[in-house]
């Protein structure tokens, strides 16, 4: 088998050609945005007519990016904190107990991951309007909790299942009360999993578009929503400023990705619940 792998067959060439073609185009897509953000004007040709970094400062002022970034990080970190607080205890109970109705609870937690955000976002936005929470910071956080809490549950439950329950039993046999068992034995073991789950929620919420778009108001937009609004509003906004904003978004996201990949592997960023 290995011998065959050393000789590249036409099938292998084709596969690698496809992958490279894909990568080249993705790089082109991202690269165009980056280059344009540094360009003076770019009407035709392979490169802009000149380079400047003024687009960034213009974008910062024009789109009030300081406020947007603050809101984005506030929303994201709050969603991470709350979803961990709600999700980790739930996943502990699900990992350790088998009870009638457990499948129903698991189904309840899987639906927000499987159902696309637009489908439940519209009724959710409708309801938030009725309770006057639409357009508010609270509404945005609440909406983003919907996919995040189940995500934490589905990441943490198998993680906790892997921790031997006999550790807790041994602690009890040594006389530890429940809060000590939870605080001194379980919590330290959970930290790596919580870190991974938290980072995954961070990355996903930062890039989550539909939910925030449907529930945010002018002062509670996250960066990606602002980007969309800017790109689609009619007006004489120069596209270079929009691209500068896009680069700021990409840069932040890549930084988060690099941090995330130190703790999780690439597949976890993407995998949703299967089967």
Partner 1 sequence: MTDIADSPAAALDAQRFSELRLNGISRAYGAHTALHPLDLTIRGGEFIALLGPSGCGKTTALNSIAGLLPLTAGSIELDGRRIDTLPPEKRGFGMVFQNYALFPHLTVRRNVAFGLRMRKVPKAELERRVHAVLELVRLTEHAHKLPGQLSGGQQQRVAIARAIVLEPPLVLMDEPLSNLDAALRLDMRAEIRRIHQEFGLTTLYVTHDQEEALSLADRLVVLNAGHVAQVGTPAELYESPRSAYVAAFMGYRNILTLTATRVGTDVATVVGEGVKLVGTVAGPVTEDADVQVAIRPEDLKIAAEGAEAAFEAVAEVVEYHGREFQVDALTRSGKRVHLRTPERVAPGDQLALTVDPRRALVFPMEGEPT
Partner 2 sequence: MTAATITQAPKLALRHRLAERGIDRTLLLILPGVIAIAALFCYPFIYGLGLSFQPAKGGVLGAYSAFFSDSFSEGTIWKTFSLAIPSALINVGLSVPISYRMRGDFRGKRLLLTLLVVPITLGTVLTAEGILEYFGPVGWFNLTLQKLGLVGAGHPVNLINDYWGVLFSLIISGFPFAFLLTHSYLSGIHPALEKAAATLGAGWWQRFRHVTFPLLLPGLLTTFCLTFVLGFSVFPSAIMVGDPDGKTHVISIEAYEQALQNFNYPQGCADAMIMTALMLLVIGLVMGIRALRFKGERIFYTGSTGGKG
Residues 4-43 that bind partner 1 (CB under 8 A): 4
d(CA 189, CA 191): 6
- Position among 56, 190, 213, 241 found at the interface with partner 2 (CB under 8 A): 213
Task: Name beta bridge partners: 35.
Answer: none
Residue 114 within binding range of partner 2, rule CB under 8 A: yes
**3 contact choice in partner 1, partner 2, none (CB below 5 to 8 Å, kind-dependent):** partner 1
**211 contact choice in partner 1, partner 2, none (CB below 5 to 8 Å, kind-dependent):** none
- Position among 40, 164, 165, 272 found at the interface with partner 2 (CB under 8 A): 272
Closest-CA residue to 269 (of 196, 162, 189, 193): 196
**Which CB, 7 or 97, lies closer to partner 1?**
7
Distance of CA 211 to the CA centre of its chain: 12
Taking CB under 8 A as the criterion, which residues in 12-71 touch partner 2?
Answer: 12, 14-16, 18-19, 22-23, 25-26, 28-33, 36, 43-46
Residue 1 within binding range of partner 1, rule CB under 8 A: yes
d(CA 129, CA 267): 37
d(CA 105, CA 111): 10
Taking CB under 8 A as the criterion, which residues in 139-158 touch partner 2?
Answer: 142-143, 145-146, 149-150, 153
Burial of 251 (0-12, 13-18, 19+ CB in 10 A): exposed
């Amino acid at each position: 088998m290995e011998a065959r792998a050393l000789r590249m067959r036409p099938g292998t060439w084709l596969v690698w050609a496809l992958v490279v073609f894909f990568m080249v185009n993705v790089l082109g897509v991202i690269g165009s945005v980056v280059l344009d953000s540094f360009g003076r004007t770019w009407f035709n040709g392979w490169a802009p007519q000149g380079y400047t970094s003024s687009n960034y400062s213009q974008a910062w002022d024009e789109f009030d990016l300081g406020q947007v970034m603050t809101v984005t990080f506030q929303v994201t970190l709050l969603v991470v904190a709350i979803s961990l607080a709600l999700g980790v205890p739930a996943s502990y109970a699900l990992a350790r107990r088998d009870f009638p109705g457990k499948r129903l609870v698991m189904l309840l937690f899987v639906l927000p991951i499987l159902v696309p955000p637009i489908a439940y976002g519209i009724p959710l936005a409708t309801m938030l309007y009725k309770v006057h929470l639409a357009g508010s910071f609270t509404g945005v956080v609440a909406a983003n909790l919907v996919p995040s809490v189940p995500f934490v549950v589905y990441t943490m439950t198998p993680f906790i299942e892997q921790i031997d329950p006999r550790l807790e039993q041994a602690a009890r046999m040594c006389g530890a009360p429940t809060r000590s068992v939870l605080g001194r034995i379980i919590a330290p073991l959970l930290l790596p999993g919580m870190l991974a789950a938290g980072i995954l929620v961070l990355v996903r919420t930062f890039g989550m578009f539909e939910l925030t778009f449907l529930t945010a108001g002018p002062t509670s937009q996250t960066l990606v929503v602002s980007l969309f609004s800017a790109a689609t509003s009619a007006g004489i906004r120069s596209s270079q400023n929009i691209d500068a904003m896009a680069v700021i978004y990409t840069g932040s996201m890549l930084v988060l990705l690099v941090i995330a990949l130190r703790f999780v592997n690439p597949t976890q960023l993407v995998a949703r619940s299967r089967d």
